[in-house]
Amino acid sequence: MTTTTWIIIGAIVLLGLIIISLYNSLIKLKNRVDEAWSDIDVQLKRRYDLIPNLVSTVKGYASHERETLDSVVEARNQAINSQQKNDTKEQAQAENSLSSALKSIFALSESYPDLKANTNFLELQRELSDTENKIQAARRFFNANVRQFNTKIQVFPTNMIAKGLSFTPYEYFEIETAQAENIEVKF
């Protein structure tokens, strides 16, 4: 074999190793994004489990606030249903609606001193607040991994491999602008 043949074989092997390395890095990042999404699911499940207890506690004190309680239950059900559809954007919207509904139920406690002093309510409120913080942390972790993955599939030379292997960008888990504003409760 001539030197030229060895150079060609070496270049082909080097190109193959580069492709394998880029592919493996894409798979690692994709798995991180999937893991981050799973972390969000765990926290959302925890929130879904806490909400019925919170609603039943509030019902005893604020029975004439049925509309607010029903909106929380409806938002919870929509969030659970959206979780099964595997659509990040739809689930983000449903979760944002649920967060807004939960804000209104906590605002109710300001109008009912007995409810505000109830230990069950306070404990549920604390747990739900802790869960909300964990959800926010999981969202930030997810979005950081999405950013890293999306950047990787968009930069050269990985973009050529990613496109050829049908890697597609993930969507960020974002809050709606209405969610970012304070909720106003009127009686």
- What confidence category does residue 186 fall into, taking pLDDT thresholds of 50, 70 and 90? very low
15 is a domain residue: no
The residue type at 150: N
SS3 162: helix
Distances (CA, A) of 55 to 27, 61, 184: 42, 10, 19
Per-residue model confidence (pLDDT) at position 146: 95
In a domain, 97, yes or no: yes
Question: Residue 74 falls within a domain, yes or no?
Answer: yes
Domain assignment present for residue 110? The answer is yes
CATH number at residue 113: 1.20.1440.20
CA distance between the termini of the chain? 89
Calculate mean pLDDT across residues 33-40: 92
**Res. 40: pLDDT tops 50:** yes
pLDDT higher than threshold 80 for residue 70? no
Q: Using the 8-state DSSP alphabet, how is residue 136 labeled?
A: H
Residue 101 pLDDT: 80
Give the total number of structural domains in the chain.
1
Give the rounded percent of residues in the chain with a pLDDT score beyond 90.
Answer: 33
Question: Does residue 7 sit within a domain?
Answer: no
The 8 Å CB, 24+ separation contacts for 3-10 are: none
> How many other CB atoms are there within 10 angstroms of residue 141's CB atom?
17
Residue 89 inside a domain? The answer is yes
Tell me if 91 is assigned to some domain: yes
Please report which confidence band the pLDDT of residue 23 belongs to, taking 50, 70 and 90 as the band edges: very high
Domain range for 35: 30-180
pLDDT tens digits along 81-90: 887 777 777 8
Residue-level pLDDT at 116: 62
23 CB-near residues (< 8 Å, 6+ apart):
161, 165
pLDDT at 152 over 90: yes
Q: Angle 41-69-44 (CA atoms, 0-180°, nearest 5)?
A: 5
Query: Nearest to residue 43, comparing CAs of 91, 105, 104?
Result: 91
pLDDT tier at 13 (50, 70, 90 boundaries)? very high
The larger pLDDT score, comparing residue 76 to residue 184, is at 76
Amino acid identity, position 13: V
Q: Which is more confident, 167 or 78?
A: 167
Q: What is the mean pLDDT of the chain?
A: 82
Q: How far is CA 13 from the centre of its chain?
A: 41
Percent of the chain with pLDDT over 70: 84
- Does residue 184 have a pLDDT over 60? no
Q: Is 185 helix (H, G, I), strand (E, B) or coil?
A: coil
Q: Provide the token pair at 76.
A: 């919870």
Give the tens place of pLDDT for each residue, 100-138. Answer: 887 777 776 677 666 666 677 777 788 888 888 998 999
Q: Flag whether 24 is in a domain.
A: no
